Structure 1
Amino acid sequence: MTDSPTVLLAGCAALPRGDGDEEVLLAALADAGCIADWVVWGEPRSLQADLVILRATWDYDSRRDEFLQWCEAVPRLRNDAAVARWNTDKTYLLDLQERGVSIVPTVLAEPGQPVEWPDTEFVIKPTIGAGSRGAQRFPAGTRRHAEEHLATLHAKGTSALVQPYQSTVDRHGETAVVFIAGELSHTYVKGPLLVPGAWLDGSGLFATETLMPVEATPDVVRFADRTVDVAADLLGMDRGELLYARVDVVRSDEGEPLLLELELTEPSLGFAFGGRPAADRMAKAARDIALS
């Protein structure tokens, strides 16, 4: 190892250099003295790097076992393989709920098991999935179409989550709270995804989003901060070992923060909103890991 460690950002074959959000991160890594580049996950050269950072590995859901085997083989990976194994199955939400984190009400729909459908508008999403692929929103009372969609997911070998749709998202969106090396970095808002006219991008790997800068309210930041604490404790690690975390928060009809997703594996981090300061924080943390 040299004073100029090699740091690779992991993408996938369809997006070998991500979606463009990390360009500022590449510049920050170079300025921090790193030799920085992209690599497609699974490529042998990822095994030789001083650090590999999971960024745009958005096709893992179709090859999750292979993806996790690769994660285990990478000598220095962030976030690491144990985090990826837990976080790439959305049943992690139920683990967090058991530890006292308020989540969007969630029912696990497993193959062959009866489902209690919500009386209101609801969402079905696969437990193994990225980029909102396979997630679908249903009006109240559309049980037949919902059962057909659920059967399609089950036929692909995945269970699903059934959640009442949070109407506050249509008015206020989801607040994304981003942490770098355990510390609050920046926040932004994501508009509703599961609406008519919402499409996957040209790669077919993620739904296009409307993103806006926002200063999250103190209660949302406190909620997100506690969620990271609980997750780190559950994983048996210090929160500072998480190179990045994105906590997606919505509000209940009563106005209380609820966890929609905790993204620890390959989330977009919104560097367009965190800017160069966020990229510098991540570059410094990455360099420290690579040199340790």
Structure 2
Amino acid sequence: MGAARVAVVTSATGLDEDTDLPLLLEALRSAGLSAEPVAWDTDPRRGWAGYDLAVIRSTWDYVGRIDEFLAWADAAARVTRLWNPAPLVRWNSDKGYLLDLAGRGVPVVPTRCIAPGDCIAPGDTYVEEDFEGTHGVVVKPSVSAGARDTARYEPGRGADAERHARMLLGQGRTALVQPYLPLVQEGERALVFFAGTFSHAIRKQALLTEPGEMDNDRAAHPGPALHMPTEAELRTERAALAAVPAPGEPLFARVDLVLDGSREPVLMELELIEPNLFLGLDPRGPERLALAVAAAAREA
């Protein structure tokens, strides 16, 4: 039997910009796998059935083509082993999953979803009323990556936040409104897991540094550095992964946390589709992921 064939699923943008990609390909080949990068929207005649495993990585253009991407995931999963699995990809593609996790007892940044068609009266101050006494709010689309179309608003700027939400609704998108947690200035935490096992963690600088500014050209992960997670952070991570509505462990997961006003970690996002895994910051990160992929290939 020859080496298992693995498609590392990316995009045109990912091929140019994904710094994890060459590290993972090298590690997979060192683990005895036949691995190659393949854009998710590549010529369908290439045939996903020719791979024993397809591992989604830097499909970073999916947000603007969400229906097409989810249809691709379903189709690919019918002919090969897709990781993470297509139903999990669909669930994780809309940040409304935060409400699911909160309902399962996971400590999550308080979140309100406002969908197109929801009744919002002119001049409604729902933004400030929902999170009264906070340090302002963050408004973002429910389907997004890299903090696109996201901004924070200081207290008293509810009208600006409302305009932002209405802009998203006018585009047929669901808006999320969350309180701004000022301890994010101490850094966002991102904990990385492979097949349910902790690999490494990073801390990065705050992203929404300028209130009222929606900057889609900002660096998505400013100043990342290795981080030693606390027991409380690991506890929150375990609660988040245990609440994922899927059997077994995701092949890869990135759990993004921030400290609340009591200095307790709360979930900002649970990234299960195409997160940057910061493999270059941990010398053994690529090897750990490659071993998890090799184990999944053996099962396939």
After TM superposition, the score normalised by the length of structure 2 is 0.88
Q: Is the 8 A contact 2:7 2:35 kept in 1?
A: yes
Q: Within 2, Cα distance between the matches of 1:117 and 1:226?
A: 28
Q: Within 2, Cα distance between the matches of 1:223 and 1:256?
A: 9
What do the CA deviations read for 1:157-182 (whole angstroms, capped 9, x no partner)? 21011001110001x21111111011
Residue number in structure 1 paired with 2:251: 243
Residue aligned with 1:22, SS: helix
Map 1:1-292 onto structure 2 (within 5 A).
2-43=1-42, 44=44, 45=46, 47=48, 48-74=50-76, 75-111=80-116, 112-114=118-120, 116-118=126-128, 119=132, 120-170=135-185, 172-196=186-210, 200=216, 207-231=220-244, 234-235=245-246, 237-239=247-249, 242-275=250-283, 277-291=284-298, 292=300
Shift of 1:198: 9.0
What do the CA deviations read for 1:247-267 (whole angstroms, capped 9, x no partner)? 111111111111100111110
Shift of 1:290: 2.2
Could you say what the CA RMSD is over the residues aligned between the two structures, in angstroms?
Answer: 1.9
Q: Is the 8 A contact 1:17 1:38 kept in 2?
A: no
Q: Within 2, Cα distance between the matches of 1:281 and 1:215?
A: 17
Using a 3 Å threshold, how does the CA distance of structure 1 residues 70 and 185 change in structure 2: closer, same or farther?
same
Using a 3 Å threshold, how does the CA distance of structure 1 residues 24 and 46 change in structure 2: closer, same or farther?
farther
Residue aligned with 1:157, SS: coil
After TM superposition, the score normalised by the length of structure 1 is 0.90
Shift of 1:208: 4.5
Shift of 1:62: 1.2
Q: Within 1, Cα distance between the matches of 2:215 and 2:280?
A: 21
What do the CA deviations read for 1:184-227 (whole angstroms, capped 9, x no partner)? 111111211112399555xx9x6352211110111111211221
Shift of 1:61: 1.4
Q: Is the 8 A contact 1:11 1:17 kept in 2?
A: no
Q: Is the 8 A contact 1:124 1:135 kept in 2?
A: yes
Shift of 1:46: 5.7
Show structure 1 runs of 5+ residues with no match.
Answer: none
Q: Within 1, Cα distance between the matches of 2:221 and 2:253?
A: 21
Q: Is the 8 A contact 1:198 1:208 kept in 2?
A: no
Shift of 1:39: 1.2
What do the CA deviations read for 1:90-133 (whole angstroms, capped 9, x no partner)? 00000000000010011112223336213431100111111111
Shift of 1:141: 1.5
Deviates more, 1:133-142 or 1:112-121: 112-121
Residue aligned with 2:15, SS: coil
Which of structure 1's runs of 4+ aligned residues deviate more than 4 A? 197-201
Q: Within 1, Cα distance between the matches of 2:91 and 2:154?
A: 31
> Residue type matched to 2:203 in 1?
V
Q: Within 2, Cα distance between the matches of 1:18 and 1:3?
A: 31
Q: Is the 8 A contact 1:7 1:50 kept in 2?
A: yes
